Chain A
Amino acid sequence: NAGVMQNPRHLVRRRGQEARLRCSPMKGHSHVYWYRQLPEEGLKFMVYLQKENIIDESGMPKERFSAEFPKEGPSILRIQQVVRGDSAAYFCASSQTGQETQYFGPGTRLLVL
């Protein structure tokens, strides 16, 4: 069984460009979570989505960041006009329901030059 898949694993962007991070949940999982890990810190919750719905985006910056989980295809975390402070590892997790154990993907490491 495939686990949570994320791509790309590494992404380099220049300031002002857009970053798109993709997450495919485990088979049978319809709940997706995005977390951000800044250097030398733990993970911080960003957003929780179910298919076609954003349930909680309280941890996501109000500007430049957006997330979606369409009916078909992976979940996408989009960062517009990236700045150096966006450099971090972005992890996606999935679960069967909203209160089950979350399983994490390998992460996307974003570097903004």
Chain B
Amino acid sequence: AQSVTQPDIHITVSEGASLELRCNYSYGATPYLFWYVQSPGQGLQLLLKYFSGDTLVQGIKGFEAEFKRSQSSFNLRKPSVHWSDAAEYFCAVRASRSYKLIFGSGTRLLVRP
């Protein structure tokens, strides 16, 4: 069965510092991978997605993620965090021929001034 693990429940970084949020998945073949962001009381906004091709994916708001098949990981990165990035981040996986998104439990990002 597919599963997604986000090992960090909370992460706190200073504004301007770099950020990496971890995501590991379990799936037999190459899945489709997604990162969504959820601001307090809001819905989910798609940051980026990986289906195939270049393993470094660029997204909105200056985020990028790298797919590493050997490590079953799809970590999200940003070189310089802004206070407005404080939110909850969800990694999700979907089988290539499926429609069902499997979500991790999320990582809450706090940004120190």
Contact = CB atoms under 8 A, between A and B. Distances in A.
Interface size class of B (residues with CB under 8 A): 20 to 34
Interface stretch (A13-21, A38-46, A68-76, A79-87): A38-46
Interface of B: 4, 34, 36, 41-46, 49, 90, 92, 96-106
Contact of A103 (B41, B46, B98): B46
Contacts, number: 57
A89 to B, nearest CB: 9
A45 B101 contact: yes
- Chain A binding site: helix, strand, loop or mixed by DSSP? strand
A44 B103 contact: yes
A88 to B, nearest CB: 14
Contacts of A106: 42-43
Nearest to B108: A40
Interface string A31-65: 10101000011111100100000011001000000
A48 B94 CA distance: 14
Contacts of A55: 99
Interface string A89-100: 001010100110
